A and B are shown apart, each in its own frame.
Chain A
């Protein structure tokens, strides 16, 4: 991400996956331009505002080995000017037109967006189409921006022990697949990225057929189509995108543990991730079952972890569970516990294990399933209040192997999830050898 205004990347990944649920009452137009660019329009006329997003089907998992952080670095450099626009002009034009913009990079996609008065949509398209093909980079721009990215890494990762723990868990999780690299990159590799690296990556991945345009807000599909054809439809592809095949992750065979001892950590934490399928890489209702299972385990005060660890046993102050399923190749299922002051983190881990063992032995109840299902569906209705969130849902879907419609229609499927679906998903995924357990300790503890 380009600036600090948006939440931490790791968290964003976790948050984004939420919103499981119901056939949203959302009008979605989805079509392709002649050059292969996919377009999604989500009309919403509550305010004279539009969200314009350009998504590229490229992320950190598409970087070659040794160049970690390159997808994200290029994201920063996309604001540095083109053969038509001087450096700084892009941002200035957004500003003086009353817009706000930014960009973000994940493992599977890179996205650029502006929110602006709806009558300025045409200008956004002109600017975005220009930088899709005409980027100009000079060392004068590139070198300070590399320093900015290194500051970003210090601020968000190196200054923060819990972020470092997350990075270590990911690195241990994947033995072969590139999801093990941090999106922002390892500092040692980021420091060596160059202008030529960025331009080569740009030429290899930025082309209309590898892009998805999402426009939400006070527009009609017809208007968007007309403008999109005028600005994006005329662009020629510089290459034909190939299927995104990454090194497959072998079936996990050994449970892994990472322990980060960091005097800067104020209090300990235990966090465990299990390798799981993603929505795109799963069959049937497995991914939905994992989403609901995560809610049953860790969402809210009625969840199993909270009831057992926080209310009954008084071991933990906070607990959580999540399923990150919006990725192309695989996802993760995770659990988390923050001990109460004075409680050993090992006791918290044991209590989490006991909750999981009970779940695997006895399954969940119909009442639990109905509760989280109902809430998940309501959450989707709340999402209707936010055009930018709807645009984001569509973009994530289309860059992680799903269709826009499927993500808005998820609640039709969610109604069908059964206790057996949950039991099968839990039995398959909550298996220690699929997991990495991460422990954050403020100071060394003498092993028992």
Chain B
């Protein structure tokens, strides 16, 4: 089922443009005989299958002092499984040209598989092995530890990483989200094979599982495969959601002195959760203010008019238990104070006055029209389907999303600007030698 594109290209391209229901995706919910559910978009035009899946829990489940345990687990997922040692596993994976990757977020542990459809059976078998019986062999573990160690050491110097980590520490203090999900040199050194086993057992449960599949496979075959791949996992309770996490209130500024020509500035404050009833008007407001289009107010003010940065963005960043509204820019040290002052001015103006009707109209056609761009490859579609499941938006979300955007009024967006944007209480971290900015407040 594909709805007709609303065709408007006649005379004058800038005339009333509408993308409502511009794109429709047919999603099937597949349930295996064993009760495992997946969302499927079939497409046999190319001989490929993409599968994305996730488990509940992630870095927030790391034991204290062993930050990076879930992250460490991602690095061990191709170091042997079931009857295959690490070398045999990797040789078979490469022979089949199967791609299997894992990623640990704060609240989710995600995985993906891509395979040529002709290698489907063997690819699924490899995935089953690694999910149910990964090895944590000592030599491999030490090798992976050294790799993460080098990355952690580099992260401690890399300006963007340094600035955003410091920002999270100021925003969350001693709470779980302040943790370094990829670990520190100290915490990585402390992680044992038993820790990895325990984390594997904790996270890999059928109960927290969500699956999205796109490509050259039909529903009946997928149903059987789901039991095969995931059926061996226990149905234990996923890690308990962490209790509510609060975001510190600024104004707070922390300058981290580094001898670099460009200061990296991260700025922001509390935002909202994805399940906030006003999420869509809030999202529209934040796209107008600091979104990815070239017309965002911050890009206009900081980059286009004044040449103060190569790139600036600011927007909602909802996590499972706290929402953020955060952005960043890089500017030459001597302009750091000026750039931040203009950021604040621009934020204040948005909070006070909200956007104009013209800005709202423009952003609506951008958001509705560009939505289809998120669905033009198997991998992207699978990523979208998984995200929509994780956020509990419903299987019909893709087909109704543009109408939700269309329905928002200027008053709704203005209300969100007033509610969410607060230029007086920003948390700011700066890495560099910024002129006009000094550390303030106590932090934490």
List residues of A whose CB falls within 8 A of some B CB. Answer: 3-5, 45-49, 79, 88, 91-100, 115-120, 122-123, 126, 143-152, 154-156, 158-159, 217, 263-267, 300-302, 310-311, 314, 317-318, 338, 340-341, 371, 374-375, 378-379, 381-382, 384-387
Contact assessment for B45 and A46 in the assembled complex, using a CB-CB cutoff below 8 Å: yes
Contact assessment for A93 and B14 in the assembled complex, using a CB-CB cutoff below 8 Å: yes
The one of A49, A91, A301, A382 in contact with B372, judged by C-beta atoms closer than 8 angstroms, is: A49
The one of A95, A120, A147, A217 in contact with B362, judged by C-beta atoms closer than 8 angstroms, is: A95
B279 near A: Cβ within 8 Å? no
Contact assessment for A341 and B262 in the assembled complex, using a CB-CB cutoff below 8 Å: no
Which B residues are CB-close (under 8 A) to A265?
Answer: 157
Given A97-B13, A100-B370, A4 contacting B307 (CB threshold 8 A)? no
Given A97-B369, A151-B332, A301-B90, A88 contacting B304 (CB threshold 8 A)? yes
- Across the interface, name the chain B residue whose C-beta is closest to A381: B116
For chain B, the bracket of interface size reads: 35 or more
The one of B156, B294, B311, B367 in contact with A91, judged by C-beta atoms closer than 8 angstroms, is: B294
Nearest-neighbour CB distance to chain A for B178, whole angstroms, equals 22
Which A residues are CB-close (under 8 A) to B375?
Answer: 47
Complex formed: what's the CA distance from A263 to B261 in Å?
14
0 or 1 for each of B339-374: is its CB under 8 Å from A? (1 = yes): 000000000000000000000001001111111110
Complex formed: what's the CA distance from A47 to B372 in Å?
8
- 16 pairs, A vs B, C-beta closer than 8 Å: A4-B310, A46-B46, A47-B375, A98-B22, A98-B372, A99-B370, A100-B292, A116-B369, A118-B5, A148-B303, A154-B262, A158-B262, A341-B150, A375-B97, A381-B48, A385-B46
Complex formed: what's the CA distance from A416 to B22 in Å?
46
B284 near A: Cβ within 8 Å? no
Contact assessment for A263 and B366 in the assembled complex, using a CB-CB cutoff below 8 Å: no
B308 near A: Cβ within 8 Å? yes
0 or 1 for each of B146-167: is its CB under 8 Å from A? (1 = yes): 1101100111111100000000
Given A119-B7, A267-B153, A317-B149, A143 contacting B307 (CB threshold 8 A)? yes
Contact assessment for B260 and A123 in the assembled complex, using a CB-CB cutoff below 8 Å: no
- Across the interface, name the chain B residue whose C-beta is closest to A372: B94
Contact assessment for A317 and B369 in the assembled complex, using a CB-CB cutoff below 8 Å: no
- Across the interface, name the chain A residue whose C-beta is closest to B365: A96
- Across the interface, name the chain A residue whose C-beta is closest to B99: A382
Complex formed: what's the CA distance from A317 to B148 in Å?
9
Which B residues are CB-close (under 8 A) to A119?
Answer: 5, 7-9
Which A residues are CB-close (under 8 A) to B367?
Answer: 98
Contact assessment for B94 and A300 in the assembled complex, using a CB-CB cutoff below 8 Å: yes
Given A159-B260, A264-B258, A98 contacting B114 (CB threshold 8 A)? no
The one of A123, A147, A149, A158 in contact with B261, judged by C-beta atoms closer than 8 angstroms, is: A158
Nearest-neighbour CB distance to chain B for A215, whole angstroms, equals 14
Q: Which of A48, A310, A386 has the most CB of B within 10 A?
A: A48
- Across the interface, name the chain A residue whose C-beta is closest to B371: A98
Complex formed: what's the CA distance from A46 to B155 in Å?
39
Which B residues are CB-close (under 8 A) to A151?
Answer: 262, 307-310, 330-332
The one of A99, A116, A123, A317 in contact with B147, judged by C-beta atoms closer than 8 angstroms, is: A317
0 or 1 for each of B274-314: is its CB under 8 Å from A? (1 = yes): 00000000000000000011110000000111111111000
